[in-house]
Structure 1
């Protein structure tokens, strides 16, 4: 694609990145076949190719309108198009640049801006979010259905395994997951402990930065990323921790791309690259462990299935951030089969469930349609339960599913604990 970027952007790091991405696009349209919003709306401007044209026009100095902003807002950033694209277009990086520029040029309605600011503040301020979630759980039974769906039901919680081992990994401290479903982090620590690996949570770390960054507060998001790098780097660089293990794929893809966000920062480029290089999804990490360790886990899991303490037939929903962002499609599925789970067939497993971070709040109609489509496909194989790898997907689906929805680590830890 030929480009003629405007003088105000072309020589900046963002402009150079955007130009390189735009020039890779050959307008083939393969991306439209796998774009969730295009499948629903049928509008070229609500497809990756259409949005690329819009961003190109903006960066070339053409008029920017509220409609441009709306078309970019409707993108889930699921990055299905990146998996589909034969030219290797890094669409996710491009839309981050495009949205930021458009928001600088187009004022949002006051109500919409208030909602975005409220989400950004609430979700990344633990004192506020933890208090609100605790109150919601206390009165969950009487909440309106729309709010109740955002408050996860109580579930088995094994407690954090704090045993000391010579092998150590870092777990993300995070923002919303510890308050919404604390059993996910605890379950992860129980599984790692069974493999004689200690889980470390560094108190100086926090939110991965994705919420603020994807709501166009790039400075705020990058400040959180820097705090994490400062907290984790000494342990990773010294070898005290062998990896940064992620059990939320949305956070995982963000941390794996820290190197991109700081590639032009001389103080953080090398540190960010090491952190990104040491980041692994929990499923990916477990598959790299010794065969006998996984066999032992499998035996315990299968025994729990026989005793009907955990489900055997499950439908697995691979989050977009896992299969498209981190390009780990099939990795967790392969591990689950090794552990003894029977995976039911799921049509359109490549499509987004509609959660997409804050998308379900900011674009509720499109999100709801995608959720129902996803649930129909997940339940078609008549599973006993639904599993996933990301807190956003889990809570989004759980609110409307008629079977248990869990992170798969919760069931493995339950088998180990029982």
Structure 2
């Protein structure tokens, strides 16, 4: 795509980087076939190609964002399916991140929209605040229908509907400390506690620590680590996102210097995509560029790390039919596609792919709150595709997907590592209490 940025504009390294991305786009339109919003809405401006045109025009003319541009950029899920499809290697992720930062700095949103985004940014990245907000959400849940009837307040209704009926108690696994290996040590890793997941489902990291411990891996929970910054990063709040990134880089750098780390384990794929991008995000900061690049190189999804270990034979019979939902941040962001399925099969599960698996479920961080109607359409499409293959359970690697899909189906949905922990010697997850291995169920039916 031809560009006309001036030399003065290209002196800005962010503009220069975006200009290089734009120039790689050849208008082929392959991205439209896999873009969830284009597939759903059929609007060229709700496709990656259309958004690239909008971003180019906005940046090239060095003008503030307008309502039209904001509407279509806001509708982007950042699922990155377009990057998987693109034959030209267009890094749409970095381009749309730059556009969102420009929007945040130059566009004044309507009051209600500003307030909702402020609430999200002030609560979700902070576990104590998020826990308190979920208590308030349960109290306010009866107001959801009233909010849903007023267009500007629909995000509030979505927020209330997504709040769980009960919040799990705080878990010791999220306290700073060291979880020693319970068999001869063969590795040492740090684990991301994170923010929302540590409140919504601490069982995920509990299962990870148990499983790694049995496999001989010492797990460190460093003091001071927190939100990866993804939530505010995708809302264009770049200063806050970089603040979170720098804090985590400092924490993990100290741990690397003190005892060494084989990996930084991430159990939320959306966080993994962002942490693996710290090297890019902080590339212009001379005090952090090198440290951030090292952290990014050590960041691994838990299934990515497990794939590099010699696993024993499974301990428990787990012949359940499992639908594997590959989160967008896993398959498109981190390009991890086979490892989770191979591990599940190795553990004894019958793994089935979900039809239209490349399409987003509609969670996408805060998207199911800020764009509830599109998110609900995508969720229902995802659930229909999952239920078509009649699984006994659903496995995925992202808490947002678990919350989104779980809100519309009765099929148990678990993190992949919870199933692996069970297979390799852990307890059966409570959510699977009513399920039976396929062979056992067949014998019972025959009798």
| TM-score above 0.5 | yes
**Counterpart position of 2:273:** 253
Written as runs of structure 1 = structure 2, the 5 A alignment for 1:233-244 is: 233-237=253-257, 240-244=260-264
Q: Say whether residues 1:187 and 2:196 are aligned partners.
A: no
Cα shift at 1:103: 3.2
Distance 2:137 2:214 in 1: 33
Instruction: Pick the aligned partner of 2:346 from 335, 338, 341.
Output: 338
Q: Is 1:315–1:385's contact at 8 Å kept on the other side of the alignment? A: yes
Q: Where does structure 1 lack aligned partners over 5 or more consecutive residues?
A: 307-311
Q: Say whether residues 1:150 and 2:163 are aligned partners.
A: yes
- Per-residue CA shift, 1:301-322, capped at 9, x if unaligned? 4x2x36xxxxx11111100000
Which protein has greater RCO, CA pairs closer than 8 Å, 6+ apart? 1
User: Secondary structure of 1:230's match?
Assistant: helix
Distance 1:85 1:171 in 2: 33
Q: Is 2:343–2:420's contact at 8 Å kept on the other side of the alignment? A: no
**Counterpart position of 1:263:** 283
**Counterpart position of 1:309:** none
Q: Structure 1 residues 237, 30: closer, same or farther in 2, change over 3 A?
A: farther
Instruction: Pick the aligned partner of 1:164 from 176, 180, 185.
Output: 180
Written as runs of structure 1 = structure 2, the 5 A alignment for 1:394-409 is: 394-409=402-417
Q: Structure 1 residues 143, 284: closer, same or farther in 2, change over 3 A?
A: farther
Distance 1:191 1:280 in 2: 16
Distance 2:417 2:222 in 1: 21
Q: Is 2:170–2:199's contact at 8 Å kept on the other side of the alignment? A: no
Cα shift at 1:174: 0.8
- Per-residue CA shift, 1:60-114, capped at 9, x if unaligned? 1176420111000000000000000001000010001112223333221111111
TM (norm. structure 2) is 0.85
Cα shift at 1:396: 0.9
Instruction: Pick the aligned partner of 2:367 from 355, 359, 363.
Output: 359
Compare 92-101 and 408-417 and name the one that shifted more: 408-417
**Counterpart position of 2:315:** 300
Q: Structure 1 residues 257, 57: closer, same or farther in 2, change over 3 A?
A: same
Q: Structure 1 residues 213, 100: closer, same or farther in 2, change over 3 A?
A: same
TM (norm. structure 1) is 0.91
**Counterpart position of 2:45:** 45
- Per-residue CA shift, 1:40-75, capped at 9, x if unaligned? 111100000000010000111176420111000000
Q: Say whether residues 1:112 and 2:125 are aligned partners.
A: no
Q: Is 1:133–1:180's contact at 8 Å kept on the other side of the alignment? A: no
Q: Structure 1 residues 217, 154: closer, same or farther in 2, change over 3 A?
A: closer
Instruction: Pick the aligned partner of 1:217 from 237, 247, 265.
Output: 237
Cα shift at 1:169: 0.5
**Counterpart position of 1:10:** 10
Q: Is 1:46–1:71's contact at 8 Å kept on the other side of the alignment? A: yes
Q: Is 2:127–2:198's contact at 8 Å kept on the other side of the alignment? A: no
Q: Is 1:152–1:180's contact at 8 Å kept on the other side of the alignment? A: no
**Counterpart position of 1:77:** 78
Q: Say whether residues 1:67 and 2:72 are aligned partners.
A: no
Compare 378-387 and 63-72 and name the one that shifted more: 63-72
Distance 2:399 2:270 in 1: 8
**Counterpart position of 2:388:** 380
Cα shift at 1:234: 2.6
Distance 1:152 1:84 in 2: 39
Cα shift at 1:7: 6.3
- Per-residue CA shift, 1:267-324, capped at 9, x if unaligned? 111101100001111111111002xxx233xx224x2x36xxxxx1111110000000
Task: Number of aligned residue pairs: give it.
Answer: 405
Instruction: Pick the aligned partner of 1:417 from 413, 418, 426.
Output: 426
Distance 1:366 1:5 in 2: 34
**Counterpart position of 2:224:** 204
Distance 1:262 1:155 in 2: 35
Cα shift at 1:143: 9.7
**Counterpart position of 2:441:** none
Q: Is 1:160–1:190's contact at 8 Å kept on the other side of the alignment? A: no
